[in-house]
Structure 1
Amino acid sequence: MLSLHRSFSYNLYVSVINIQAVCMQQEKPRRSNRERSDTTRAAILDAARELFVAKGYADTATPDIVAAAGLTRGALYHHFEDKKALFRAVIEGESREVAAAIERSAPDALPPREALLAGAAAYFDAMAVPGRVRLLLLDGPAVLGVTTMAVIDAAHGGRTLEEGLGTAMAPHRLEEKTVKAMAFLLSAAFDRAALEIDAGAARADYAYAIGRLIDRLIDP
């Protein structure tokens, strides 16, 4: 009888544990299809970015990407039409992050000149993220073309520079197309400086030069 009692107690204990486990699983919220889809997309983008930076666009194959992400080719092509579309998504993500960093650096309370200088410093900080210069300034234009890169830049940050420069130069009453052209050229100067800094040049030298260029533009 004692052995039977112990067996019954043990079985009862196991049953209680199993019921608790089931209850915990039921209480744990299930991820929605959207959440699972977003997680999969993020995994693909993260793996693709790492490989595009390490190997370059041409030498990165889609099987390499899905293997690094731990997914299937079907999952990749469910989210992206092809490797080029995936590359563009990576580029757009990088552009958004750079634009967000610049936006955070220049609150509305800053005077126009200080806002431009703060934005320039934030740009150099953002472009110091490993691999970003290669993606945005080298492989991006080579793979997508300068026109597409200009569209991406305008969508995520180009307007910020143009608006800031326009505000700073408002006393000169320049035409909008003139301000737009100046912003385009100033942006090119930022990119050239970022390339040189990435290659080993002293950031302080280029930050100083950009500052003087901004001063000459807004107060000729």
Structure 2
Amino acid sequence: MQKVRVQPNAQRSAQTRQALLVAARSLFVEKGFAATSTPELVERAGMTRGALYHHFRDKAEVLHAVLEEEARQVAEEIEKAAPANTSPVDALRVGSVAYLDAMAVQGRTRLLLIEGPAALGADRMATIDEGHAAASLREGLEAAMPGRHVAALTNLLSASFDRAALDIDGGDDKKAVRAAMLFLIDQVVAPTP
């Protein structure tokens, strides 16, 4: 007699949740949040609506989880880009390119900069960003230029980075946009006379 190996509940639950998130990401990128229905989401995931509502309160909560994961991955790429012994200014420059590269992952710009703000609102998106890429940017600016309006500069540069990602996603010259972002970083962190 052959033994049947049963997965622990926690493992099955994690796999179900992950399948729902993968399906949701795919649909949100293809169709957008508003045009994606929960029945097609569970069908794409090969799950039931009961499984969806066991893990998530509603479709907006699914989107929030997808966006958290996307934002986490962007921040991880930024953090990995600069070696530990890099100067603060060089870390900002390397992190700038890493952000643009991370945002070039298919669908990520649409999710984080279009679907997320439209569906969840600016405040919730700011909270997600603050826990990830904006935190990296703020820390980099604090290290490179302590005491120089870091909070305001973080917000302004963050908006510039988002615009750059949208431009690249829209087909603008990637090298030119990167060069412009690096120029902007250099101007911001330049010593004041």
Alignment correspondent of 1:56: 32
Is 1:207 aligned to residue 183 of structure 2? Answer: no
Alignment correspondent of 2:67: 91
Give the match's secondary structure for 2:187.
helix
Higher relative contact order (CA 8 A, sep 6+): 2
Q: What letter is aligned with 2:115?
A: D
Q: State the 4+ residue runs in structure 1 displaced beyond 3 angstroms.
A: none
Unmatched runs of 5 consecutive residues or more in structure 1: 1-18
Is 1:115 aligned to residue 86 of structure 2? Answer: no
Q: Given the two structures, how large is their TM-score scaled by the length of structure 2?
A: 0.95
Is 1:194 aligned to residue 165 of structure 2? Answer: yes
Tell me how large the CA RMSD over aligned residues is.
1.1
| Structure 1 residue 155: Cα displacement | 1.2
Partner Cα distance (2:19, 2:96) in 1:
31
**Larger mean Cα displacement after TM superposition, 104-113 or 68-77:** 104-113
Q: What letter is aligned with 2:57?
A: E
| Structure 1 residue 107: Cα displacement | 2.7
* Bigger CA radius of gyration: 1
Identity %: 50
Q: What letter is aligned with 1:64?
A: E
Partner Cα distance (1:107, 1:81) in 2:
40
Report the number of matched residues: 191
Unmatched runs of 5 consecutive residues or more in structure 2: none
| Structure 1 residue 119: Cα displacement | 0.6
Is 1:143 aligned to residue 119 of structure 2? Answer: yes
- What's the CA shift string for 1:20-72, capped at 9, x where partnerless? xx2xx26x5x3211000000000000001100110111110000000001110
Alignment correspondent of 2:144: 168
- What's the CA shift string for 1:78-114, capped at 9, x where partnerless? 0000011111111111111111111111232111111
Q: What letter is aligned with 2:165?
A: A
| Structure 1 residue 157: Cα displacement | 2.5
Alignment correspondent of 1:104: 80
Alignment correspondent of 1:180: 151
| Structure 1 residue 130: Cα displacement | 0.8
Q: Which has the higher helix share?
A: 1
